[in-house]
Structure 1
C-alpha cells in the first residue's frame, strides 16, 4: 500500500506532536517532516517527497495562507490543508482563494482529519459542515469580497497559453524555468478546474476565451 506523505507546519510543537500521534495510528498516512515555520519548510521542500502540507495560518514570518500561495505556484503537486482556530469568513475565503484544498478547525477529530487527507489526496476539496455553512452564508449575502477560487492562477494561465500554442511540456518547462513534473501538475490542475480531459479541449478553451489568438 502506497502511503500518503504528509508534512506538518505549525509553530507550536505540542500541537505538532498531537497531530503526529493522531496520524501515527493511520495505516496509509505517514508524516515525513515537521517544521515550526513556513520558511524552514521552503528551504527543504525539494528534499521531501511531500504530497500534502498541513499548516496553521498564524506563524512567525510567512503565514499559512502565504505558504499555500507559494506551494500553488512553485509546487502545485503538493496540496495544502489549513488547520486553524480562525473560523471567520475572511480567513476561510482567503485560504480558498490561495489554493487550500481543505480548511478545518484545530479541534477536529482524528477520523475527520484522516477523511480530509484522503479526499485531498484524491484531488478533491474538503470542508466540514461548520466551515461550509460559514462559506455558504457569506455567498448567500452576496459578499463582494469573495473570489472565484476555481479560476486559474496566473501561472496556470501561462502554462495554458503555452500548451495551447503547441509547446511541448519540456519547452513549457524551459520557458517558465520550472520542472517538467511541475508543468504536468499545472496541466492536471487546469483540467480539473475547467472540467476538461484532453489537450485538444484545452486548446479549444484557450481559443474560445481569447487566451490565445488564432489568425
Structure 2
C-alpha cells in the first residue's frame, strides 16, 4: 500500500510514518509538508490513500480537497486534524473526504480507519458527541433506508449524481464494474427508474440532495 502523508509538523510525520511502515499494512509512505506539494504528488503519483492535515502552508487542507475534486482525483482522503469543529467536519465531507479523525488518535485507530476507508466506508471519530456528527450524512442514511437502498448503494448513487462512469465508480469504491452494475440495477428498481439520469432526478425529487 502506498500512502501520502501531508502535514507541516515533522515530528508528527516521522512518528506516523514509522507506525504505518511497521504495521500490517506494509505501507510505503511518502510525506510532504504543504498543500501545493501534496496536490502535485497526488496529480502525478499513484497513491492508495492520503492522510492530510487541514492547517497547511501554501494551500490549506480545504483548498487541497477542492483542487483534488476539480481534477477528479480517485485517491481516498482521510483528514487527520487537531480540529474538533463540527463545521470543519461537515465541510471536509462535503468536499469529498472519506474520514475525519483527530490527531490524538492512537496509531491502531488510524490504521483501522485506513482499512475501513479502503473498504469503501466513510468513517468519523467514534469519540465525537452524536450532535457533532454531520447531520447531512445521518439524514442521507435515513433517506436510503426509507427507500430500501443500502449504504453502499447510496454511495454509488451519489457518485452517479456527480456524473461518474461505472468504471470511475468502481475505482472510487474499490469494486468491480459488475458489482457497480448490480448496485445500479437495485437502485433503479428501488426508485422505479430506467436509467442513470432518471435515478438521479428521482433521488433529487424524493429528497436526496
Q: TM-score by structure 1 length? A: 0.67
**SS of equivalent to 1:71:** helix
1:118 correspondence with 2:141? no
- Structure 1: tracts of 5 or more residues without a match: 141-148, 164-168, 170-180
Question: Is the CA contact (8 Å cut-off) linking 1:104 and 1:131 kept in structure 2?
Answer: no
Shift of 1:57: 0.3
C-alpha distance 158-112 of structure 1, shift in aligned 2 (>3 A): closer
1:40 correspondence with 2:61? no
Shift of 1:64: 1.1
Partner residue in 2 for 1:172: none
C-alpha distance 15-108 of structure 1, shift in aligned 2 (>3 A): same
C-alpha distance 28-207 of structure 1, shift in aligned 2 (>3 A): same
Query: What number of residue pairs does the alignment pair up?
Result: 179
Shift of 1:60: 1.1
**SS of equivalent to 1:66:** helix
Which residue, 193, 197, 207 being the options, matches 1:206?
197
- CA deviations over 1:106-140 (Å, ceiling 9, x no partner): 0110111010000001111111222363434x649
Question: Is the CA contact (8 Å cut-off) linking 1:159 and 1:183 kept in structure 2?
Answer: no
C-alpha distance 19-75 of structure 1, shift in aligned 2 (>3 A): farther
Partner residue in 2 for 1:178: none
Which residue, 14, 26, 34 being the options, matches 1:17?
14
Partner residue in 1 for 2:130: 133
Which residue, 74, 81, 104 being the options, matches 1:84?
81
- Structure 2: tracts of 5 or more residues without a match: 137-153, 203-209
What do you get for the CA RMSD once the two structures are aligned?
3.7
C-alpha distance 82-158 of structure 1, shift in aligned 2 (>3 A): closer
Q: TM-score by structure 2 length? A: 0.69
Instruction: Determine the C-alpha separation between the residues in 2 that align with 1:11 and 1:111.
Output: 22
Instruction: Determine the C-alpha separation between the residues in 1 that align with 2:37 and 2:89.
Output: 24
